[in-house]
Amino acid sequence: MGVALGMIYKPLGKSGCLVPALGQGCMGIGGFFSQDISDDDRYIGALQRGYALGMTFVDTAEVYGDGHSEEVIGKSVKGIRDSIFIASKFSPENSSSRGVIDAAERSLQRLRTDYIDLYQIHWPNPLIPLEETLGAMVKLVQEGKVRFIGVSNFSLKELKEAHALLGDKLVSIQNEYNLFDRSIESTVLPFCVENDMTMIAYSPLDQGNLSSPSKKACLEEIAQHHDGTVAQVVLNWLVAKRNVVAIPKSSNIHHVEENAKALAFRLSDAEIRLIDDAFSGNQKRIPVKEIRVVQDGQGNRKAYCTLSEAIENKLGFVPSPADLAEDIASGEPIKPVRVRKTTSTEGGYAYDLLEGRIRYWAWVIANGETSAIPVLIRE
Ligand SMILES: NC(=O)c1ccc[n+]([C@@H]2O[C@H](COP(=O)([O-])OP(=O)(O)OC[C@H]3O[C@@H](n4cnc5c(N)ncnc54)[C@H](OP(=O)(O)O)[C@@H]3O)[C@@H](O)[C@H]2O)c1
């Protein structure tokens, strides 16, 4: 992998390999949860512009665009494969030994490559022993089909378990980390720092929300001072954290250029502290009965609207709300769900649930309908 002027490189765990501190997320490149084959040329152009500017680390998953994201990446790296670091993930339903191997073969074909640089467990699957899943991943490494192993969306307990099984062979964890959701700072991030693992921050720009309207002024002022943009300040703030690299997604070539050039300036310690303070204390607890579960799921994904539906798990989610409830009942902290103050007067609810419906129902199963759940409140 070549180096680019203005990019920062960080160690990938204890692998001896360096990766750019800013990569390119590919959820939405080639579609979100179904295939979008209408705009491949634009996606490929945006990715290749990012590569040219040093964002040579791409992150995808078998589920993105129902496989098409991997196909687009495969086309984008034609002729330059060895200079690009490709990270992909398999879905929880493929966590058995056979499932992992078959999923990797399908990803390799779609990516038109004979190795994946970083292969990650997308979400934990409590129904399959972690030892079995990781064992299959180690086999892929031994066969040269995968270079490094990572996990994603693991709680601290799950990360510790994976680390106990793999040691330094586990190089990274990919969890959500941005100015709105800083929950990993008190859970998995300190563990990564102590054990020299890389933290790959997903949704670093909070899916384009960048900042809440009431707090944006602080970021704008800092951006102006550096002749930069708010997105660049946010990416800088993340990369300034030890062991953290970030994977912003963009299919807009101007945004790609803006993101790639984010590290052309550096935030001072005082600016980092200012941002730390301005964006602290977002997480609250709200009684579950104050939260309305709305019909339409994020990204048009189906979801449950009642407790009995969630317990029945007719849609076959893996893990199911009941599976997740077992972990929650053991006291494991959960990733906070997203809510917004409701504008509706119906039903006496105070908030609408925006994101995290499986977690919401898992919490209700574990703690009952009179409990209070950790939330992040969108303005
Ligand atoms: N492991 C997991 O479970 C998981 C979950 C979520 C995401 N991820 C990974 O993390 C990556 C990034 O997360 P994400 O896609 O959720 O969100 P994100 O990177 O935080 O935000 C993407 C959004 O921000 C916009 N954007 C990008 N650059 C911008 C800029 N400079 N100024 C203004 N807007 C900008 C994009 O629009 P344009 O395209 O129009 O620029 C897009 O709408 C994903 O693509 C995926 O690889 C992993």
For residues 253 and 344, membership in a common domain is answered with no
Position 274 pLDDT exceeds 90: yes
For residues 39 and 102, membership in a common domain is answered with yes
Question: Around 203, how many Cα atoms within 13 Å sit in the side-chain half-sphere?
Answer: 15
Q: For residues 8-22, give the mean pLDDT.
A: 98
Question: Around 374, how many Cα atoms within 13 Å sit in the side-chain half-sphere?
Answer: 15
Q: Measured between alpha carbons, how far is 106 from 127 in angstroms, rounded to an integer?
A: 23
How far does residue 266's CA lie from ligand 1's centre (Å)?
22
Q: For residues 19-36, give the mean pLDDT.
A: 96
Q: Which of 202, 232, 247 to mutate to test the pocket of ligand 1 (most atoms within 8 A of CB)?
A: 202
% pLDDT > 70, the chain: 98
Q: For residues 12-18, give the mean pLDDT.
A: 98
DSSP-derived 3-state class of residue 151: strand
Task: Provide DSSP, 28-91.
Answer: BTTBSSS---TTHHHHHHHHHHHHHTT--EEE--TTGGGGHHHHHHHHHTTTTGGGSEEEEEE-
For residues 180 and 249, membership in a common domain is answered with yes
For residues 288 and 272, membership in a common domain is answered with no
For residues 235 and 315, membership in a common domain is answered with no
Last residue of a domain, one of 241, 258, 278: 278
Q: What is the CATH number of the domain that holds 348?
A: 3.90.1530
Does the active-site annotation cover 64?
yes
Atom of ligand 1 nearest to the CA of 248: 19
- Residue 295 in any domain: the answer is yes
For residues 351 and 259, membership in a common domain is answered with no
Last residue of a domain, one of 253, 278, 303: 278
Ligand 1 contact via 287 beta carbon (within 6 Å): no
How far does residue 289's CA lie from ligand 1's centre (Å)?
31
Q: For residues 215-230, give the mean pLDDT.
A: 95
- Residue 270 in any domain: the answer is yes
Q: For residues 13-23, give the mean pLDDT.
A: 98
Please state the separation of Cα 247 from the chain's center in Å: 8
Contact 234, 211 (CB under 8 A): yes
For residues 212 and 69, membership in a common domain is answered with yes
Instruction: Tell me the average pLDDT of the chain.
Output: 95
Contacts 24+ apart (CB under 8 A), 78-82: 78/112, 80/51, 81/113, 82/1
Ligand 1 contact via 317 beta carbon (within 6 Å): no
| Catalytic residue (choose from 43, 51, 64, 115) | 64
Ligand 1 contact via 186 beta carbon (within 6 Å): no
- Residue 2 in any domain: the answer is no
Backbone φ and ψ for 361, nearest 5 degrees, come out as: -70, -35
Please state the domain count of the chain.
2
Last residue of a domain, one of 278, 304, 333: 278
pLDDT tens-digit series, residues 326-344:
989 988 888 999 999 999 8
For residues 269 and 300, membership in a common domain is answered with no
For residues 295 and 357, the model is more confident at 357
Backbone φ and ψ for 98, nearest 5 degrees, come out as: -65, -40
For residues 273 and 315, membership in a common domain is answered with no
% pLDDT > 90, the chain: 87
For residues 198 and 82, membership in a common domain is answered with yes
Position 156 scores a pLDDT of 95
Tokens matching residue 93: 């339903």
- Residue 3 in any domain: the answer is no
For residues 254 and 312, membership in a common domain is answered with no
Position 302 scores a pLDDT of 78
For residues 216 and 99, membership in a common domain is answered with yes
pLDDT tens-digit series, residues 297-313:
555 677 898 999 999 99
Q: What is the CATH number of the domain that holds 177?
A: 3.20.20.100
Q: Whose CA is nearest to atom 27 of ligand 1?
A: 250
- Residue 4 in any domain: the answer is no
pLDDT tens-digit series, residues 70-127:
999 999 999 999 999 999 999 999 999 999 999 999 999 999 999 999 999 999 998 9
User: 173: domain range?
Assistant: 9-278
